Amino acid sequence: MKVKVKLYGTLSSNVPEYKPSQGIEVEIPDDATVKDLLAYLEISETRGAAVIANGRVLNANDELQNGSSLDVFQSIHGG
């Protein structure tokens, strides 16, 4: 399946020539989970990734849907 991904925080450094306004399109297996997506993007656990779709933070084991738009942030405890 294909999903659209936008990267925030310092995560865009994982994708060369990343354009914030466009994001990237990623092709991953049909049964891929949030965890699989992060592994595909080579975002390690230590970087505190939080994947949000439709206003909700997803669980690491949530399965992704074809054609969905995902935003990947880094967790922060406040400002």
Partner 1 sequence: MKFIRVNMSDKSIHVEDVPQEYAGLGGRGLTSILVNAEVPPQCDPLGPENKLIFAPGFLTGTPLVNTSRISVGAKSPLTGGIKESNAGGTIGASLGHLGITAVIVEGQASDGDLSLLHINGQGEATLIPAQGYKGMRTYALVEKLLATYGEKNSVMCIGPAGEYQFASASVQSSDVDGRPCRAAGRGGMGAVMGAKGLKALVVDQRGKNADVIANPQAFKEATKVVVEAVKADHMSAEVMPNLGTAALVAPVNAMGAFPSYNATKGQLDGWEKISGEAMAEIIKERGGKTTHRGCDKCMIHCSNEYVDEDGKFVTSSLEYETIWATGGMTGITDFDVIARLDYLCDDIGLDTMNTGVAVAVAMDAGYRAFGDAEAAIEMVEEIAKGTDFGRILGNGPAAVGEHFDHPRVPVVKRQSIAAYDPRGMLGNGITYATSPMGADHTAGNVVGAYLEHKLDPLSPEGQVDTSRFLQIAMAAFDCMGQCFMANVALLHPDGFGAFQKLIEAKTGTQFEDGYFPFGMGTRILKAEKEFNRKAGFTKQDDRLPKFFYEEPLSPHDKVFPISDAELDSVLEF
Residues at the site binding partner 1, with contacts judged by CB under 8 A: 8-10, 12, 20-21, 46-48, 50, 52, 55-60, 71, 73-79
CB of 56 to partner 1, least distance (A): 8
**Type of residue at 40:** Y
Q: Select 8 or 40, whichever has its Cβ closest to partner 1.
A: 8
Tell me the sheet residues that pair with 50: 73
Q: Select 20 or 67, whichever has its Cβ closest to partner 1.
A: 20
Alpha-carbon distance of 79 to 24, in angstroms, equals: 29
**Type of residue at 33:** T
For the beta sheet containing 2-7, the strands, ordered from the edge strand earlier in sequence to the opposite edge, are 24-27, 2-7, 69-74, 49-53, 56-57
Q: Select 27 or 52, whichever has its Cβ closest to partner 1.
A: 52
CB of 18 to partner 1, least distance (A): 11
